[in-house]
Structure 1
Amino acid sequence: MSGESGPVAQKNVLTAPAALPSEARRTIYVYLGLLLILLAFGAPHGGLIDIPVTFILKNKLHMEAHDLANFRLISAIPLYLSFVFGFVRDSWSPFGMKDRGHMLVFGATTAGLYLCFAFTRVTYITLLLATVLLTTSFLFVASAQNGLASTIGQQHAMTGRVSTVWNVFGSLPGVAALLIGGALSDVFEQESVDYTVRALFLGGALIMGAVTTYALWKPWRVFDNIYSETATRPVEDIKRLARHWPIYPALLIWLLWNFAPGSATPLQYHLQNNLHATDTAWGQWNAIFAASFVPTFLLFGYLCQRTPLRTLLIWGTLAAIPQMIPLLFINSVAGALVAAVPMGLMGGVATAAYLDLIIRSCPKGLQGTTLMMSSSILVVIARFGDVLGTNLYDHYGGFSICVIAITLVYALILPTLLLVPKHLIATVDGQSPAP
């Protein structure tokens, strides 16, 4: 083992982030990227599984829009509590392996649950139970990835670049999963519901088995460059988290960005019922929209090393506020697919900047808790935004009211930026924020 990693690994406390050589950074990017790809495909609430399940509920179990929104609201209960899984990650190290231990134990558990439910007769209740239990187990793995990535970003003054890697590698498999998920729904349209769920869950088991195997890999350039920040006093750590002011404006901005009332179920029903989009077309729209974030994610990765985060936050938000407005002028499926491109491009810098801000805002030793708290907020606010948007869609004459509501919510991010501590966003990536 090379000696270049030893001094960092032996330290328990660092007063400032330590820059890494380019070889170490590249290894980190590859390791985190591969992990993100596996988790994006294996997530029970992700595109590969979630979209076909949505169509099973809609097309095979004949649920209405509000019924589907309520199913998604209930099945996401573990996601509302994501911060608990993050706190477990920050406080407990299975087999002394820290993040790799969580990946090993709960990767295998999630694979086993997929196998179990693959051979269980499908009803509304069993599908709901499967989604809840799979998500619960999966979140232990996700908390390890969240905590590991944010810790590396903080400890080595590379929060912007970690945000870029996170978003790019999280989006690309997400795009593929959305395309495959929509296509699978069409392929399985003539199959029984039991056959469809069995095929989906066996695929999920295979992917999570790969995650379990991945946990055995320990590249030294990644793990020997991380010093221990394990939380050991739960009550004191919770108090420390509650007193840490920087997380509040960062999480409020994240809340506003992900509220988007009407961007899920109402948009799906608008495209399919009003514009007559197929299941595949709905998957394609989501895939194009997600893929179109990637160029501006990469732009952020370039700019963050040259421009203070404050500037990127402001300009990214200004670009993102009118993101949904193109949908007001669309009257065909082809037009919607084209409009998804500029809509995605408009959101990339903002998304990456907001994640960078959250990573910078984490209190030491509680990165997993903070990042999983952001996941909780994302899911809670997105699900309730979906319910609100569905009610607006059902009672106020269609999708236009949803676009108006989303735009107004996004506009509230600008004044919220004034609450962010100035020192935290005054530096470019690679420089340590002033204390």
Structure 2
Amino acid sequence: MSLAQAELEPHAANPTDLPLAARWRIFAYLAALIAILGLGDPNEGLLNLPVSFLLKNKLQLQAHEMANFRLVSALPLYFAAVFGFIRDSWHPFGMRDRGFMILFSLIGCVLDLIFAFTPVSTFSLLAAILTLTTAFLFVSSAQNGLSSTIGQQHVMSGRVSAVWSIFGMVPVVTTFVLGGKFSDLLEGSDPELAARVMFLAGAAMTGLVLIYALWRPAVVYDNVHHEDPDVHRPRADLIRLAKHWPIYPALAIWLLWNFNPGASTPLQYHLQNQLHGSDGDWGVWNAIYWGSYIPTFILYGLLCRRVALKKLLLWSTVFAVPQFAPLLFVHSVSGAMIAAVSIGLMGGMANAAYLDLLIRSCPPGLQGTVLMMSTALYYVATRFGDVWGTSLYENYGGFEICVVMTIVVYAAILPILWLIPKDLTATADGEVAAAKTSSDKTALSMTFRKS
């Protein structure tokens, strides 16, 4: 192979285990970044619940109209892999991931300020979510790529997954509590005022992302070894990605895990219309549900260094299949709140294990693309699952059929586990020698070059 050809190939970094102090400082940096981004996310952050309540309570959308709004407003998210591929190929200001965070958080902040003073309507809310999501996806692709690269290169994908899961859940819980209470507080207020406060809060959060991105801790960025070739060839990268088998079972599992036809619109309308809960109750239910994931995320962070990923995947999936079954046996808001605890606990280990698998499955230099593909699949699964679930809820027997179909979908994950390459999941977190051997084998199997 000529020197010119070698410069066009990705350079996989040798896995290394960092000192404990360095690892903890990296985890702390990623934790804060993930939490801040979670609050600023236009689809899952501070804007999420207030927008849904504006649509439901102020603009009087029906259940199927709400599901359709969510489906259309997520349009940029279905193409999230494109943003990840841009992240892997372009480096704004020569700053790589920090360049994306600085540039597009600034754009997002300006957009929030514009929509804060735009008359509120279904169309204006749709335009806001579409444009804010587009800007946010560039920021998210940087965080996804940075986190997964660090996890791969320093054989701590399981611990990065645990940190990512825990601190990604903190803003989810926070926004559901604050969003529900905020909606109750503004129930009798002018929708224009509610929208203005909502978007100003969004501007504050994206501004915080901008300030955080200006900081460059050496322990983080000096420990990221760039694997991309000296000259980017998009077509060759796409071929390399397509030939990389490990991503297929990992992404298929992620798709099924997030295809939950009962967890969004049907559950919201069931809780509020059939069980007579308030907006605040819906927010609290989600806060309890998502918050109950956190103990099992912590448990995963402890177990991943002692147990091979293969075993963690199998047993966490078995435990997660009947996750939503407790909702079949509750008939009151208080019963639903109690059920939310067990539902969250049953799903945490599986969620962390699937994210761990995604990080391990990335080919060198394309971590942003693969993780943003998982983001796209998440929203395709949740939005289309929500539309299907809403149809089941309205036309085929109410909320119970949604729960049953969720269990069936989760059970379909089990046979896919056997399609995962064995060397990818044979090691526990931090096993440097084994991880390096696996990485070398994967690199050989996926390369398209001819020496």
Q: TM-score, normalised by structure 1?
A: 0.96
1:96 match = 94
Please give the alpha-carbon distance, in whole angstroms, between the structure 1 residues aligned to 2:297 and 2:246.
Answer: 24
Cα offset, 1:15, TM superposition: 5.3
Aligned residue type for 1:107:
S
1:34 match = 32
What value does the CA root-mean-square deviation take over the aligned residues? 1.0
Cα offset, 1:123, TM superposition: 1.3
The question of whether the paired residues in 1 share the 8 Å contact of 2:13 and 2:153 is answered with no
Aligned residue type for 1:386:
D
Tell me which of 115, 118, 135 is aligned to 1:117: 115
The 1:71–1:14 alpha-carbon spacing in structure 2 relative to 1, beyond 3 Å, is closer
The question of whether the paired residues in 1 share the 8 Å contact of 2:296 and 2:345 is answered with yes
The question of whether the paired residues in 2 share the 8 Å contact of 1:359 and 1:367 is answered with yes
Q: Deviations over 1:128-180 (max 9, x none)?
A: 10110000001100000000000000000000000000000000121011100
Task: Say whether residues 1:430 and 2:430 are aligned partners.
Answer: yes
Cα offset, 1:302, TM superposition: 0.5
2:48 match = 50
The question of whether the paired residues in 2 share the 8 Å contact of 1:83 and 1:369 is answered with yes
Q: Deviations over 1:45-87 (max 9, x none)?
A: 1242111100110110001000000000000001101111101
Tell me which of 184, 187, 197 is aligned to 1:189: 187
Q: Deviations over 1:253-300 (max 9, x none)?
A: 001100011211000000000000100000000000000000000111
The question of whether the paired residues in 2 share the 8 Å contact of 1:182 and 1:284 is answered with yes
The 1:102–1:15 alpha-carbon spacing in structure 2 relative to 1, beyond 3 Å, is closer
Q: TM-score, normalised by structure 2?
A: 0.93
Matched ranges for 1:64-213 at <5 A: 64-213=62-211
1:57 match: secondary structure: helix
Please give the alpha-carbon distance, in whole angstroms, between the structure 1 residues aligned to 2:45 and 2:111.
Answer: 18
The 1:59–1:15 alpha-carbon spacing in structure 2 relative to 1, beyond 3 Å, is closer
The question of whether the paired residues in 2 share the 8 Å contact of 1:33 and 1:169 is answered with yes
1:221 match = 219
Please give the alpha-carbon distance, in whole angstroms, between the structure 2 residues aligned to 1:16 and 1:316.
Answer: 30
Aligned residue type for 1:427:
T
- Aligned length in residues: 424
The question of whether the paired residues in 2 share the 8 Å contact of 1:288 and 1:341 is answered with yes
Aligned residue type for 1:190:
G
Runs of 5+ consecutive residues of structure 2 not aligned to the other structure: 1-9, 442-451
1:9 match = none
Matched ranges for 1:259-278 at <5 A: 259-278=259-278
Tell me which of 58, 61, 68 is aligned to 1:60: 58
1:321 match = 321
1:297 match = 297
Matched ranges for 1:355-374 at <5 A: 355-374=355-374
Q: Deviations over 1:171-212 (max 9, x none)?
A: 012101110011111111111111101001001101111111
The question of whether the paired residues in 1 share the 8 Å contact of 2:113 and 2:199 is answered with yes
Aligned residue type for 1:292:
S
Please give the alpha-carbon distance, in whole angstroms, between the structure 2 residues aligned to 1:282 and 1:324.
Answer: 16
Cα offset, 1:402, TM superposition: 0.5
The 1:47–1:14 alpha-carbon spacing in structure 2 relative to 1, beyond 3 Å, is closer
The question of whether the paired residues in 2 share the 8 Å contact of 1:159 and 1:360 is answered with yes
Please give the alpha-carbon distance, in whole angstroms, between the structure 1 residues aligned to 2:73 and 2:214.
Answer: 31
Please give the alpha-carbon distance, in whole angstroms, between the structure 1 residues aligned to 2:117 and 2:255.
Answer: 38
2:446 match = none
Please give the alpha-carbon distance, in whole angstroms, between the structure 1 residues aligned to 2:205 and 2:39.
Answer: 7
Please give the alpha-carbon distance, in whole angstroms, between the structure 2 residues aligned to 1:14 and 1:55.
Answer: 47
Cα offset, 1:97, TM superposition: 0.5
Please give the alpha-carbon distance, in whole angstroms, between the structure 1 residues aligned to 2:72 and 2:287.
Answer: 25
2:39 match: secondary structure: helix
1:408 match = 408
The question of whether the paired residues in 1 share the 8 Å contact of 2:169 and 2:290 is answered with yes
The question of whether the paired residues in 1 share the 8 Å contact of 2:270 and 2:399 is answered with yes
Aligned residue type for 2:175:
A
The question of whether the paired residues in 2 share the 8 Å contact of 1:13 and 1:227 is answered with no
Q: Deviations over 1:229-273 (max 9, x none)?
A: 236211100110011000000000001100011211000000000
Please give the alpha-carbon distance, in whole angstroms, between the structure 1 residues aligned to 2:347 and 2:272.
Answer: 24
Is 223-232 or 184-193 further displaced after alignment? 223-232
The question of whether the paired residues in 1 share the 8 Å contact of 2:13 and 2:227 is answered with no
Cα offset, 1:381, TM superposition: 1.1
Please give the alpha-carbon distance, in whole angstroms, between the structure 1 residues aligned to 2:228 and 2:173.
Answer: 34
2:3 match = none
1:4 match = none
Please give the alpha-carbon distance, in whole angstroms, between the structure 2 residues aligned to 1:218 and 1:230.
Answer: 21
The question of whether the paired residues in 2 share the 8 Å contact of 1:171 and 1:290 is answered with yes
The question of whether the paired residues in 1 share the 8 Å contact of 2:258 and 2:381 is answered with yes
Cα offset, 1:14, TM superposition: 5.0
1:3 match = none
The question of whether the paired residues in 1 share the 8 Å contact of 2:12 and 2:365 is answered with no
Aligned residue type for 1:193:
P
Cα offset, 1:21, TM superposition: 0.7
Please give the alpha-carbon distance, in whole angstroms, between the structure 2 residues aligned to 1:377 and 1:190.
Answer: 38
Cα offset, 1:16, TM superposition: 2.7
The 1:66–1:374 alpha-carbon spacing in structure 2 relative to 1, beyond 3 Å, is same
2:335 match = 335
Aligned residue type for 2:171:
P
2:238 match = 238
Cα offset, 1:401, TM superposition: 0.3
The 1:260–1:122 alpha-carbon spacing in structure 2 relative to 1, beyond 3 Å, is same
Runs of 4+ in 1 over 3 A off after TM superposition: 12-15
Please give the alpha-carbon distance, in whole angstroms, between the structure 1 residues aligned to 2:190 and 2:83.
Answer: 35
